[in-house]
Amino acid sequence: MQEQKFKRSPLFYVGDKYKLMEQLSNLFPDDIKCFYDVFCGGGSASLNTLANEYKMNDIDANVMQLHRFLIEHSYDSNSLIEEFYHLIKKYNLSHSELGKSDEIEKLKKIFKKTYYSEYNKENYLKLREDYNNTKNIKLLYLLVVYGFNHMIRFNKNNKFNLPVGNVDWNKNVTKAIRDYCEWANGNDIFVTNGMDFENFVLQNNYSTGDFLYFDPPYLITFSDYNKLWNIEEETRLYNLLDELNKQNIRWGLSNMLKHKGKKNEILKKWSEKYYIYDIKSNYISKFDNTLKSDSREIYVTNFPSKLF
Ligand SMILES: C[S@@+](CC[C@H](N)C(=O)[O-])C[C@H]1O[C@@H](n2cnc3c(N)ncnc32)[C@H](O)[C@@H]1O
């Protein structure tokens, strides 16, 4: 079997860059000393980029806590996975990696798109309650695996509040954990506790060879974390990138120029002074043809890519 080149993050993060890393890694420099993953989310960019060291940040402290947990346990992925298997059993959740279950096969016939959620819903609520009472990080990871769209969301009282999803622990989850651990165990990685991008960028001293990757929420698309984003944030980011450029610090930015009839005019105007590369987007469905699609995803950088 051919070895898969790119690693999937075990956080299965909404908006993750896993599918785009083949294109992006060709545009990143190939001599990176420190890779700064400023809006790291699930960490797909770090996982799939070669560098001497990594600094990862996201404003979401829970996401950063999950990264820290995985990194700290990366020296023994077998034990980590065993612990999760034990918890899956304890909470009596489905575990499709182990093979077909008669009960789920029956549910599949009745609930065509929600068979795992039907099976897991009550036990998932018990898991969620236990997590909210204990804040045990292993339980949070299981909530991410079994929860709606693998998302992480808390209410005002800091209680995890997403419902069960139609997903479970399959072989991809185990593989993603193994791949992450293999990467983390062999590398020098620093993770923040969850900081605003500007504070994170300004606190570091950069040297030649460093590279900063920015994958912010997109102004014109929709996802839960886009609630944190608006024109002021976008402008603050572009000012920061201009400032880094003045200091000859290398960076790359992913973003969306147009999507579903919306255009990001500030991005269009600002990006003209840098190098712009078109990216075949996740947002264009495989049934769309590019000519018909009105989405345009781009990668902007302040130095010419090695390919061009
Ligand atoms: C498009 S996602 C990043 C996805 C990531 N590159 C991946 O591959 O999984 C954007 C991220 O920006 C984070 N974010 C939003 N506002 C932020 C801010 N002011 N500072 C730092 N991170 C922020 C969100 O929590 C979200 O994880």
Mean pLDDT confidence for 153-173: 97
Given the CA of residue 60, which atom of ligand 1 is nearest to it? 25
Q: Which domains does the chain have, with CATH numbers?
A: 18-60+194-301 (3.40.50.150), 72-175 (1.10.1020)
In this predicted structure, the answer to whether residue 132 has a pLDDT above a threshold of 90 is yes
Q: Is the pLDDT of residue 29 over 50?
A: yes
The closest residue, in CA terms, to atom 17 on ligand 1 is: 59
Helix axes 115-134, 137-146, angle to 10 degrees: 160
Task: Find, among 109, 83, 102, 66, the residue nearest to 169 by Cα.
Answer: 83
Q: What confidence score (pLDDT) does residue 1 get?
A: 44
* Whether the Cβ atoms of residue 124 and residue 164 lie closer than 8 Å to each other: yes
CA 18 to ligand 1 centroid distance, Å: 14
Q: How far is the CA of 191 from the centre of ligand 1 (A)?
A: 14
How far is ligand 1, taken at its centre, from the CA of residue 252, in Å?
Answer: 15
Q: What is the mean pLDDT of the chain?
A: 93
Q: Is the per-residue pLDDT at 66 higher than 50?
A: yes
* 110 contacts: CB under 8 Å, gap ≥ 6: 118
Give the CA count within 13 Å in the CB-facing half-sphere of 44. Answer: 21
Dihedral angle at the C-alpha atoms of 240, 45, 60, 219, nearest 10 degrees?
A: 60
Ligand 1 test: best mutation among 67, 199, 228, 255, most atoms within 8 Å of CB? 228
- Chain centroid to CA 40: 6
55-69, 156-170, 220-234 — which is least confidently predicted? 220-234
Ligand 1 test: best mutation among 17, 19, 58, 239, most atoms within 8 Å of CB?
A: 58
C-alpha to C-alpha distance for 104 and 111, rounded to whole angstroms = 10
- The Å distance, Cα 59 to ligand 1 centre, comes to 7
| Phi/psi of residue 51, nearest 5 degrees | -155, 165
- pLDDT band at residue 223 under the 50/70/90 scheme: confident
pLDDT category, 225, cuts 50, 70, 90? confident
Mean pLDDT of 146-172: 97
Can you give the pLDDT at residue 3?
53
Token digits for 13?
Answer: 């993060």
Mean predicted confidence (pLDDT) in 38-60? 98
Q: How many whole angstroms separate alpha carbon 170 and alpha carbon 305?
A: 38
Q: Is 216 in the pocket of ligand 1 (CB under 6 A)?
A: yes
pLDDT at 182: 98
How would residue 293 be classed by pLDDT, with cut points 50, 70 and 90? low
Identify the pLDDT of residue 290: 46
List, for residues 249-283, the tens digit of each pLDDT value: 999 999 999 998 999 999 999 999 999 999 998 65
